[in-house]
Amino acid sequence: MKHIFETRVYYSDTDAYGVVWHGAYLRWLEKGRVDLCNMLGIDLVTMKSMDVLLPVTNMNVKYKASAKLDDIVIIETWIEKFNSLSVSFKQVIKSKNTDKIFIEALFDVVAISNDGKLYRRMPEQLIESFEKGMEKCPVLV
């Protein structure tokens, strides 16, 4: 399953050099991961009330090119890898008009309790949802 959304680059997304500020990409990547989780039935606020948090433990972001003011960018997010301990989200940010890739990213996430204790095995509802996300199905927007 893949989550896809698009956004326009606004002045507030750019830096002094006139290109997208690196933190703006991170905001878009976060939105993609959260929205994919929501598509899979994982509401992060509800999970917290059930003593489950999903922090990022590793991120690898490759900046390949710079988006600029008024570009329309597409953010694609999918589950690259899942096991009972962690899930890895693969993400790409590219130009809507040219398909030029600006960002390739991989984020690793684990499940912990509200007090920071690592779950040695993901809670069952997460396992079911992430396995569903690994299934091949049509691209959803």
Q: What are the structural domains, with CATH classification, of the chain?
A: 2-134 (3.10.129.10)
Mean pLDDT of the chain: 93
Q: Output the pLDDT for position 125.
A: 86
What's the mean pLDDT in 113-137?
87
- This prediction has a pTM of 0.91
| Residue 136, pLDDT above cutoff 90 | no
20 burial (CB, 10 Å; 0-12 / 13-18 / 19+) is buried
Residue 93 and residue 45: Cα distance in Å, rounded?
26
With contact defined as beta carbons under 8 Å apart, do 79 and 89 qualify? yes
| Residue 53, pLDDT above cutoff 80 | yes
| DSSP state at residue 83 | -
With contact defined as beta carbons under 8 Å apart, do 93 and 44 qualify? no
Structure confidence by residue, pLDDT tens digits, 8-52: 999 999 999 999 999 999 999 999 999 999 999 999 999 999 999
Orientation of helix 22-39 relative to helix 124-134, angle to 10°: 100
Tell how strand 2-8 and strand 72-82 pair up. antiparallel
What's the mean pLDDT in 59-75?
97
| Residue 61, pLDDT above cutoff 50 | yes
Q: Output the pLDDT for position 141.
A: 41
**Which H or E element spans position 80?**
strand 72-82
